Amino acid sequence: MLVLVAPGQGAQTPGFLTPWLDLPGAADRLGAWSDAIGLDLAHYGTQADADAIRDTAVAQPLLVAAGLLSATALGDIAPGAVAGHSVGEITAAAFAGVLDDTAALTLVRKRGLAMAEAATVTETGMSALLGGDPETTVAHLEKLGLTPANVNGAGQIVAAGTLEQLAALEADKPEGVRRVVALKVAGAFHTHHMAPAVDALAEAAKALTPADPAVTYVSNKDGKAVATGDEVLSRLVGQVANPVRWDLCMETFKELGVTGLIEVCPGGTLTGLAKRALPGVKTVALKTPEDLDAARELIAGTSSTPAADAAGA
């Protein structure tokens, strides 16, 4: 069975959309989305520098647009399941038919603006911890006042909190942790620091009419498959201030019998985790259009299982 996944914030790099806009219809599609949300996605995806696309209000819609463009380039595919990491959950909601593309981009634009505003209250950030025992690491983070905002599995936990707390972590790493890497994000996402954004996103969600997922939609909240569009939308609202449990999502992939995983543009992060946590699962990361042929080969060689078909019915 094939799972289609979408990365979260921090995966973007300057100019990463440039080769994708050479594909038929891509520039027009991106232009229409830009007009719909009042943000020049082509500029930010091709010309803007690293600081400009680090801005939460820019990065989030840019990532969703990139995921949708690259998935469209694959053609008509029918994954057995979909999931996204953090803001990638909105991309996944579009893959599952819960939201159409314009609704997904409208929601993520409001999400990015609300989270950017929440991040101005206190100087905060996030750092990835590589290696170590999860229980030991979480206890150490809590001692420092930090939140384990992303429990990603495969030996990776992302801590979030104030810059002072993150500096203390750098100076006092948990036992067994090899490295602490600051992430290219502008806030302590998925923590109490984002609570003001929840209300703004809830208000934005009232204008949407979600459909039930057409395929299995796996949620960051607890790794569970969500059956209704209303529940997907509710979880999208709440997740901005709650931890991402990507480790549990990957456990669900195992239970579903996933044999192939494609990560949409800008791919790499989630396929890296899958290679360590899901041995035997074939993976393809869509970084440029040159990766499309490998992804199509994986699609051709991967079929849905009866369990996946039942879950997505």
**Helix 88-95, helix 229-238: angle, nearest 10:** 170
Written as six digits, the tokens of 298 are 């994986």
- Taking the C-alpha atoms of residue 100 and residue 93, their distance in angstroms, rounded to an integer, is 8
Residues 6+ apart with CB under 8 A from 231: none
Residues 6+ apart with CB under 8 A from 196: 114, 117, 118, 121
CA distances (Å), origin 177, targets 127, 142, 152, 248, 278: 12, 15, 15, 21, 21
CA distances (Å), origin 248, targets 139, 192, 199, 218, 226: 19, 21, 26, 9, 14
Q: Concatenate the DSSP letters of all residues of 146-208 into one string.
A: -EEEEEEETTEEEEEEEHHHHHHHHHSPPTTEEEEEE-S-SS-TTSGGGHHHHHHHHHHHTT-
Q: Which of 190, 193, 219, 304 is catalytic?
A: 190
- Evaluated on CA atoms 104, 106, 111, 112, the torsion sign reads positive
**Is 86 an active-site residue?**
yes
Q: Which of 34, 70, 85, 86 is catalytic?
A: 86
| Residues written for the chain | 313
Residues 6+ apart with CB under 8 A from 139: 174
Q: How many CB atoms lie within 10 A of CB 16?
A: 19
Q: What angle do CA 154, 160, 166 make, to 5 degrees?
A: 105
- Taking the C-alpha atoms of residue 9 and residue 37, their distance in angstroms, rounded to an integer, is 19
Active site residues: 86, 190
